[in-house]
Amino acid sequence: RRLVSTEPQFLLSHWIDKDTLERHSAALVCARLKGRHTYDAVAAKLNEIHAEYRIQNKVKSTVTDNQSNFEFGVREDESDDYSDEEDGDGEQFFLPQQQRCAAHTLNLIATNEIHKAASNGPS
């Protein structure tokens, strides 16, 4: 099973070898996404990268952080693994489900709790 995670300007691939159960990672691309990071822009870029590396049928999910720009960048379709969306030019994008990065989520929770505790002052 392969997971592809997005970070600003990077696309990384993580997978587990089915025979050895060894974990692998590879940086696929470091590319600048010009303009606004809208759903159409991010979907088109992800679609382009998936096609370039011929991984359209291998990617099972896209892991993102919890930044609001990724809310618009990747949408989930609960009915099947890929959501097919059309942009204004009639081009369809087939994207895997989005998953939130667990480490980033835990970091946000801890950071928010520290800020709450600090704003309440000493007890």
Q: What is the pLDDT of residue 1?
A: 47
The first and second tokens of residue 6, run together, are 């997005």
Amino acid sitting at position 40: D
DSSP string, 54-111: T-TTTEEEEEE-S-HHHHHH----TTSSEEEEE-TTS-EEEEEEEEE-HHHHHHHHHH
Q: What is the pLDDT of residue 17?
A: 92
Q: Find the radius of gyration of the CA atoms of the chain.
A: 17
Residue ranges of the chain with per-residue pLDDT less than 70: 1-9, 67-95, 123
Question: What pTM value is reported for the model?
Answer: 0.57
Q: What is the pLDDT of residue 96?
A: 72
d(C-alpha 41, C-alpha 70), whole Å:
11
Q: What is the pLDDT of residue 27?
A: 87
d(C-alpha 85, C-alpha 83), whole Å:
6
d(C-alpha 118, C-alpha 122), whole Å:
8
Nearest to 76, CA basis, from 54, 56, 52, 60: 60
Is the separation of the CB atoms in 53 and 42 below 8 Å? no
d(C-alpha 56, C-alpha 46), whole Å:
10
